[in-house]
Structure 1
Amino acid sequence: MENVQSNVYASELKFRLSSDARFAGNEDTVIRYDESSAPNPIFTVFPHSEEDVVQIVKYCREKGLKCFAQSGGHNSRVRNHKSIDVVICMRSLNHVSVDESSQTVILGGGTINKEVIDAVTAKKLEVATGVCNTVGVLGNLLHGGTGRFTGKYGLGIDNLLSVNIVDATGKLHKGINETTDPELWWAIRGAGSSFGIVTQATIKAYPQSNEGLSWTCTLMFSNPSAEKIGKVLNAIDATVMEERMSLLCSFACLPPTGHPSIVLVPWYYGSEGEAEKAWERILDPLLEPDFKQAVMLPTDKLNEGNDASCAMGGRKPSVGMGIERLDVPSFLEIWDLCLEFGKNEGAGGSAILIERFPKEKALRVSDDATVFPHSNRGIVYEVVCCPVYKDSRLDEEAKVFSKKVRDIWVQRCGDPEKPRCYGASAGFDEPLESMFGSKERVQRLLDIKRKWDPENYWGALLDLP
């Protein structure tokens, strides 16, 4: 009966859409990065234009259906996913137009990082993007947008110039910016997915430095002792970050051996000599990594090392927080928790992720400029607990594991009175104050939400009380 109804809906809707729009039944739903919160829609539709998106939303509202847009599909915490009837896969809206004279880029709502990076690199430009090729540009950007260029150019939302957005009634609003609608502009820069479907955006671009070449290194510590873990974390914590630096660190059991390991990936936008000086603490030979490889790479190759960890499928209900320090006893306990959960069948790929980006540039933006507050802009470390498994019977255990790790971070590595998190990796029940700051700030955000989406059609990060 469900297939019959799906066919009826698709038949009615297709007459409203362009000839290039496509449909797929629920058996062909686009695989998400985290299937534990993936919708089970009646059907998936692939719009080919902004007008297609308008008509899909209008049709769903007429029929009492809940729709949800995805581009890369990596948001691991999709609220109200069980009530979503129609998935709007935006991937066909992936056009990228680079204007070299104005140093701006216009991109479609389905564009992924790799597509925009390739387009701007061909023009010897660069943009603020995330560190995973297959993540949707706007999915990352609208919730803050951190990445290797955060130190140089600030957050993704600070490089956003305008957007086109389809609201909960199916109306397309073009060219939304600080002048056309200051309230909405404030809100979408940090909570954008809660206000509609962004079908197009214009962002800033910048000339490449150092001919687009940067230094990156992979350091691996296999089966590290507690003492070694402490030394590595202390070296990271003691490193002074400048604008051309970033660091990715993970606790994980890596193939082919499956040995528990620490993997460090420091990055520096400059020469090898400059990089080695900037990262001298973690490059200290006394740390004795089991593996070390440093290379100079062009911008369009930087993310390739993360492709495997960004692969779709499986259950990955990650939970992220922002912390101030790498408290060694706390991380040793987290290390043990990760190894214990990883003993479950199929859960060996579980990981703890630590990201560090320079934040001085992001903090130069006025605290009133966006919903993303200074308290969160200044987070020293973005950390994520990422259980990885396939068997749904592990869902509850994964939840317990993530909560234990989260609580350790909040109580021992940050300010327990003011926990902070990055919205894109927040847990389902994370207080809005953790993402957006003070109660007054949250209230302002909810007031704008009531104006633009009074029925709370777009759940996303916000649920109206």
Structure 2
Amino acid sequence: MGAMSTWKVWITGVFLAVFLTDRLTNAIAFRRENITTTLGPQLSNGAQIILPHNAGFVQATQRWSLFDPPHFTAVVEVGTEEDIATTVKFANKNNIPFLAVTGSHGTIACLGKFNGIEIRMRKLNSTVISEDGKTATFGGGKRSGEVIEALWAAGKQTVSGICECTGFLGPALGGGHGVLQGKYGIASDQFVSMRMVTADGAIREVSSSGPNSDLWWAMQGAGHNFGIVTSITSKVYDVPDGGLWSYETYVFSYDKVEAVFETINWLAQHQPPGMFNRDVIYRNPSVDPKNPILQVDLLQESVSAVAPNFTSPFRKLGPMSVGSGSGTYKDIPKWTGVNFNSIACNVADTSKIRFPIGLVSYNATAQQALMDTFSQVIGPDSPFNVSQVLFEGYSMYGVKAVPDNATAFPHRGDNQLVTVAMVNAPRPELDAQAVRIGNKLRQVLLEGSGSTELHAYVNYAAGTESLQNLYGFEPWRLKRLKELKAKYDPQDRFGYYAPIPV
């Protein structure tokens, strides 16, 4: 090709690129103008549209993790249930994606495909306790800490996550593990009814009976795929013994891992419904400058000190330190480092990627292999050196009292929930490396379990998991979910968080 021809091709390419960029810019500007002039007048007085150039947009779109985050072109901060329905219909008409947001804690990779409207739920934060005191109705924008506080003021409690800053409903729609699940089941087991906006913009009342009863099953474990819950009515319970709880904390050295997890296996077979343990592998140079350490937290309800029959086996292992204390149920987030003012709840410029796995029990040898691998791949000077492996050992009595086929939540047989939590600066090359490390550490646990099935808690998923990993390996379960997805969301409008294919 001659120089003149090459020049013409280059000019044509530049002209085309400028033309397309100009068209795209105009289209975005049109959409923003359209959302203000067309959607704005249809919303309630309590609603607000926030565009990228407006004050408050950055705060409204902040994410807990910067790993593969969604991209928002506008925020609709809704004030009523009808605002959500109106926004969904507007988005459908204009072929704009939408995503409901409360706590901003989702870190799954598929969120990075999103480019559209954030439906901000925070103003829907009401709490109404029924006259008989057996149920409470929460607005869809409620955070877990707010649920705890609102119920506590009335002498009530329910199953929720212990992290105060996460949304209440987001985790609950994926099942929702919590401190009280040994007594009552997971968070979604508490659902009595809900109001929600489905993909067509319709407002529906959903419960175990009525015209949408088939959807009720799916909302308890796979709810992110089917609608935006505007309010939820859940069972609530009287706070026993003034809400008294106690804890005992141990820090163990690198060489005690096998013995500790053998003891935790024993604990899982004996811990009462009002007890749980929360354990972490992490680096703390002030305790051990070379090796990671293992912290074990035991928490028990209705006692001023954790019972000696539970503490003695851990004390006999020779921990590096022991701490203890007592307080109330409201103190648990602070004790475990996930209260509103904790580092865990701070929005920081980091990528946080989680790799969950559910286990029936711990293979102590595999746990030592996990510790060894963690030490090798996440050294003291590693860019991932604040990463952790979290072990959640909730009592399972209430969870297993619910039949396995009663809801879409798939993993009721798993007694232990483990999560590799990678943390690093938000750079693509580090994110890619974090994914490799996270999958490697999780694979160590899977191989040690003796099972070929990776069970991954959907609320902690990284996005590298299969549909079976997230929603269960039973063919009937996946078939039912896909049929319901085709019925209620045939255009896959709710396809950005652990999506079920249509």
3-state SS, counterpart of residue 250 of structure 2: strand
How far residue 341 of structure 1 moved from its aligned partner, in angstroms, is 2.9
- Please, which of 410, 430, 447 is the counterpart of residue 394 of structure 1? 430
Please tell me whether residue 371 in structure 1 is matched to residue 403 in structure 2.
no
After superposition, residues 276-315 of structure 1 pair within 5 angstroms as: 276-282=308-314, 284=315, 286-304=316-334, 305-307=337-339, 308-313=343-348, 314-315=350-351
* CA–CA distance in structure 1, aligned partners of residues 414 and 155 of structure 2: 31
- Please, which of 436, 441, 457 is the counterpart of residue 422 of structure 1? 457
Contact 1:6 1:25 in 2 (8 A): no
Contact 2:248 2:311 in 1 (8 A): no
3-state SS, counterpart of residue 32 of structure 1: coil
- Aligned equivalent of 1:225: 254
Q: CA RMSD in A?
A: 2.1
Q: Note closer, same or farther for the CA distance 1:391–1:462 as it changes in structure 2 (3 Å cut).
A: closer
Please tell me whether residue 262 in structure 1 is matched to residue 287 in structure 2.
no
* CA–CA distance in structure 1, aligned partners of residues 271 and 451 of structure 2: 22
Identity among equivalent pairs (%): 25
* CA–CA distance in structure 1, aligned partners of residues 150 and 234 of structure 2: 13
* CA–CA distance in structure 2, aligned partners of residues 43 and 103 of structure 1: 39
How far residue 350 of structure 1 moved from its aligned partner, in angstroms, is 0.5
3-state SS, counterpart of residue 447 of structure 1: helix
| 1:299-348 deviations in Å (ceiling 9; x for gaps) | 22211232322433320111101012322332233223334235565422
Please tell me whether residue 147 in structure 1 is matched to residue 173 in structure 2.
no
3-state SS, counterpart of residue 279 of structure 2: strand
Identify unmatched segments of 5+ residues in structure 2.
1-24
* CA–CA distance in structure 2, aligned partners of residues 192 and 391 of structure 1: 29
- Aligned equivalent of 1:19: 45
| 1:198-230 deviations in Å (ceiling 9; x for gaps) | 110000101111211111233223xx232x122
Please tell me whether residue 413 in structure 1 is matched to residue 439 in structure 2.
no
Matched letter for residue 268 of structure 1:
Q
- Aligned equivalent of 2:15: none
Matched letter for residue 274 of structure 2:
R
Please tell me whether residue 48 in structure 1 is matched to residue 79 in structure 2.
yes
Q: Note closer, same or farther for the CA distance 1:380–1:7 as it changes in structure 2 (3 Å cut).
A: same
| 1:443-462 deviations in Å (ceiling 9; x for gaps) | 11100110000111101222
| 1:354-393 deviations in Å (ceiling 9; x for gaps) | 10112122111122211123xx112011111110011312
Contact 2:107 2:353 in 1 (8 A): yes
* CA–CA distance in structure 1, aligned partners of residues 47 and 109 of structure 2: 24
Contact 2:43 2:83 in 1 (8 A): yes
How far residue 255 of structure 1 moved from its aligned partner, in angstroms, is 7.6
Higher alpha-carbon deviation: 16-25 or 356-365: 16-25
Please tell me whether residue 125 in structure 1 is matched to residue 151 in structure 2.
no
Q: Note closer, same or farther for the CA distance 1:391–1:140 as it changes in structure 2 (3 Å cut).
A: closer
Higher alpha-carbon deviation: 61-70 or 265-274: 265-274
How many pairs are equivalent?
A: 457
- Please, which of 203, 226, 236 is the counterpart of residue 264 of structure 2? 236
| 1:143-180 deviations in Å (ceiling 9; x for gaps) | 11111101011111111111111111111112444444
How far residue 406 of structure 1 moved from its aligned partner, in angstroms, is 1.9
3-state SS, counterpart of residue 287 of structure 1: coil
- Please, which of 277, 282, 296 is the counterpart of residue 247 of structure 1? 277
| 1:407-456 deviations in Å (ceiling 9; x for gaps) | 1222212511x322212123324222223330121011100110000111
* CA–CA distance in structure 1, aligned partners of residues 46 and 109 of structure 2: 28
| 1:114-143 deviations in Å (ceiling 9; x for gaps) | 111011111111111111011111111111
How far residue 278 of structure 1 moved from its aligned partner, in angstroms, is 3.2
| 1:269-314 deviations in Å (ceiling 9; x for gaps) | 12135633334322x2x33333322121212221123232243332
Matched letter for residue 54 of structure 1:
A
- Please, which of 386, 405, 419 is the counterpart of residue 349 of structure 1? 386
* CA–CA distance in structure 2, aligned partners of residues 192 and 344 of structure 1: 41
* CA–CA distance in structure 2, aligned partners of residues 265 and 100 of structure 1: 37
Q: Note closer, same or farther for the CA distance 1:362–1:179 as it changes in structure 2 (3 Å cut).
A: farther
Contact 1:69 1:87 in 2 (8 A): yes
| 1:48-79 deviations in Å (ceiling 9; x for gaps) | 11111111111111111101111111122152
* CA–CA distance in structure 2, aligned partners of residues 167 and 342 of structure 1: 47
Q: Which runs of 4+ in 1 moved over 6 A?
A: 255-258
Contact 1:420 1:435 in 2 (8 A): yes
- Aligned equivalent of 1:338: 374
Q: Note closer, same or farther for the CA distance 1:359–1:31 as it changes in structure 2 (3 Å cut).
A: same
- Aligned equivalent of 1:212: 243
How far residue 189 of structure 1 moved from its aligned partner, in angstroms, is 0.5
How far residue 101 of structure 1 moved from its aligned partner, in angstroms, is 1.8
Contact 2:206 2:215 in 1 (8 A): no
* CA–CA distance in structure 2, aligned partners of residues 464 and 81 of structure 1: 17
Q: Note closer, same or farther for the CA distance 1:88–1:344 as it changes in structure 2 (3 Å cut).
A: farther
Contact 1:323 1:414 in 2 (8 A): no
- Aligned equivalent of 1:443: 479
Matched letter for residue 238 of structure 1:
W
- Return the index of the structure with the highest Cα Rg: 2
3-state SS, counterpart of residue 162 of structure 1: strand
* CA–CA distance in structure 2, aligned partners of residues 117 and 447 of structure 1: 36
Identify unmatched segments of 5+ residues in structure 1.
none
* CA–CA distance in structure 1, aligned partners of residues 494 and 352 of structure 2: 23
Contact 1:322 1:414 in 2 (8 A): no
